[in-house]
Amino acid sequence: MPFKTFNNWLFDGDIKSKIPEDLLKYNSPVSQLYVISLFPLVGKFNYFIDQYYNNINLWYLEKDELFKFIKRAVIDFKIKRNQIPFIPFKKKDKLFSAVRPKVPELKPYEVSLLCEFINSSENKDRIYQTLGLEKLEKPKKNKKSVKKIKEEFEKKEVSNKISLGDLLENFVIISN
């Protein structure tokens, strides 16, 4: 949970606290861009960051230097944890991936809500089948069931035979 670790470190109030090692790795999900995009609700500080750090030179800074600068700014500007917006991340599943292209005018969180409604619906199985997420299971056939089906079919054929006269009664001859 690197994001939680980063937020705990950022708001611990101690300027001399050590940055967790897993945050400084090159493949850490807590990137420089993520860090500078955390402060949209803090007006002056956000404006300063956008002016001086929101460019390609951001990637040439060392992560630890940027993190220390941001932590110092959090302490100086008295930024509180509740001023950082929380955007929940939900792993996208097969239903989300199937529904999203069908309704492109909906926002992702609206599609997630629709998926929740589908999952709690009584017709969940039908909707999944309609979207092609679940295939209809065919009953397994064995020799006994095949014989039984053949016998039923033969009985129906015998009882369904009709005479030519009965068939012709259904037709009307119209002459011009």
Residue pLDDT, tens place only, 34-83 = 898 899 888 889 898 888 888 888 888 899 999 999 999 999 999 999 99
Domain contains 102: no
Q: Count up the domains in the chain and report the number.
A: 1
Q: What is the DSSP letter of 81?
A: G
Single-letter code of the amino acid located at 137: E
Residue 66, classed as helix, strand or coil, is: helix
Q: What's the pLDDT band for 6 if we cut at 50, 70, 90?
A: very high
According to the model, what pLDDT value does residue 137 have? 60
Interval 144-155: pLDDT, tens: 777 887 887 777
176 or 169, which is more confident: 169
State the residue range of the domain holding 45: 2-83
Domain contains 143: no
Domain contains 89: no
User: Is pLDDT at 111 greater than 60 in this prediction?
Assistant: yes
Domain contains 92: no
Number of H helices, E strands in the chain: 10, 0
Nearest Cα to Cα of residue 96 among 72, 69, 131, 66: 131
Domain contains 99: no
Domain contains 113: no
Domain contains 100: no
Domain contains 141: no
Question: How many whole angstroms separate alpha carbon 175 and alpha carbon 164?
Answer: 21
Nearest Cα to Cα of residue 23 among 59, 67, 75: 67
Interval 113-169: pLDDT, tens: 999 999 999 988 888 888 888 755 666 667 777 788 788 777 765 556 677 787 788
Question: How many whole angstroms separate alpha carbon 132 and alpha carbon 28?
Answer: 37
Q: Is the dihedral of CA 94, 96, 98, 101 positive or negative?
A: negative
